[in-house]
Amino acid sequence: MSDELTLDKNNFQSEVIESDLPCLVDFWAPWCGPCLMMGPTLEKLADEYAGKAKICKLNVDDNSDLATKYGIRSIPALLFFKGGEVVDQAVGVQPEDALKAKLDGMA
């Protein structure tokens, strides 16, 4: 069972900006091949980091206002939030180890 959280404009503020936990937000779309490749890695991280960090997905097609706000031009775009602010980011398919290093650095 994955602990990934699906975001939209209604819960982004409460789940990410106001979160006490660090958040990794995956800006993705269902038609994006590289985004789909990242899926299993993010699901694994969601389980592994349950209670330590939130692993979230935000569909850019359904939430273009948030994608624009955060300057998303290529997907998958992975933004790392801590204290309501973007503290790191990565674009494109990322290795699991790189994502773990970023998450561990935010703890």
Q: Give catalytic residues, as residue numbers.
A: 32, 35
Reported in sequence order, the residue ranges of the chain that DSSP labels E, i.e. its strands, are: 5-7, 23-28, 54-59, 77-82, 85-91
Torsion, Cα of 81, 87, 93, 97 (10° steps): -90
CB 93 within 8 A of CB 37: yes
What is the rounded CA–CA span in Å between residue 34 and residue 53?
23
Placement of tokens 């206002």 in the chain: 65
